Structure 1
Amino acid sequence: MAIQEGGVSLMLPTRIQLSKKTWDRLQYLQTQTRLTPNVTARIAISMALRDIKTATINTSRPEQTHTINRDVLFGDHERVYEAMIRQFCHEQNVDADIQAIIRSLIDNGLHKLGHLKKFSDLDTVFK
């Protein structure tokens, strides 16, 4: 999948490298909510994109990483996420590595989900 932005083609990578800290947070939330890390990451991306005024891109590469496949991360909604990320890049004039963009969106969204302690807490996320 290619994301065209400003004449530059951004490819959704086959494998996304998440920091170990991010992966540990996703796994912790799984124990609290029973949502798998990929579903929680999708919610986190959506939360970050919903409030793009505060979304920032961290271009530093994590020292320790955990790899998640694109198909697992985005599932059947890959094209939807591709479109949302494309719109974000266009509106925010983002010209960064797609890995850094995806990592940053997940990290920003996880910060917004920091209050989750159990599955029922998700109702506040969608209001």
Structure 2
Amino acid sequence: MQFRLKTSKETMEILKQMQTNTNLTPNILARLAISLSLLLDEPIEQFESDTNGLEFNRNTLTGTQDFAYKAIIAQQLGRAITDEEYFPILIKKHLDRGAKLLENEYKYAGNYEKFIKSLANFEMEMVR
């Protein structure tokens, strides 16, 4: 069982730039990225990326909500997933895909305040 994952180089660059722009720590930004990725209907299994970026500890990313993240991912996939598949493989895929979404949301919003408001309303927009 692994307790660490490495993001892609692109994700590392996005998270560092987002940290500069928002003053949010990379672990908070990573959780937001994972959440955005989970809102998409597109399958995550074919998503590929490198492992040349930031290293995260499992507890730092999912903490007390680890079981919830695993359950949501399994539900989205429509099948049971092993712990080895869940972390680091699927969480990393969602993190790397979600980082691009997070970056696009910030660019579209234009500033921190609009960005946070946009994220707060993001799920509501996806449901409609």
TM-score, normalized by length of structure 2?
A: 0.71
Partners of 2:50 and 2:17 lie apart in 1 by 19
Dislocated runs of 4+, deviation >4 Å: 58-61, 93-97
1:60–1:124 Cα change, 3 Å:
closer
Q: Confirm or deny that 1:40 pairs with 2:29.
A: yes
Counting helix residues as a fraction of each chain, which structure ranks higher? 2
Hey, what does 2:112 align to over in structure 1? 119
Q: What amino acid is aligned across from residue 16 of structure 2 in structure 1?
A: Q
Gaps of 5+ in 1: 1-10
CA contact (8 A) 1:59 1:100 kept: no
1:71–1:118 Cα change, 3 Å:
farther
Hey, what does 2:96 align to over in structure 1? 107
| Residue 89 of structure 1, aligned match among 77, 85, 98 | 77
**CA RMSD across the alignment:** 2.7
Partners of 2:63 and 2:120 lie apart in 1 by 20
CA contact (8 A) 1:41 1:73 kept: yes
TM-score, normalized by length of structure 1?
A: 0.72
Does the residue aligned with 1:62 lie in a helix, a strand or coil?
A: coil
Gaps of 5+ in 2: 122-128
Percent identity, please.
27
Partners of 1:90 and 1:30 lie apart in 2 by 34
Does the residue aligned with 2:44 lie in a helix, a strand or coil?
A: coil
Q: What amino acid is aligned across from residue 33 of structure 2 in structure 1?
A: A
Equivalent residue runs for 1:69-80 within 5 Å: 69-80=57-68
Size of the alignment, in residue pairs?
114
Q: Once the 2 structures are TM-superposed, how far is the Cα of residue 111 of structure 1 from its aligned partner?
A: 2.1
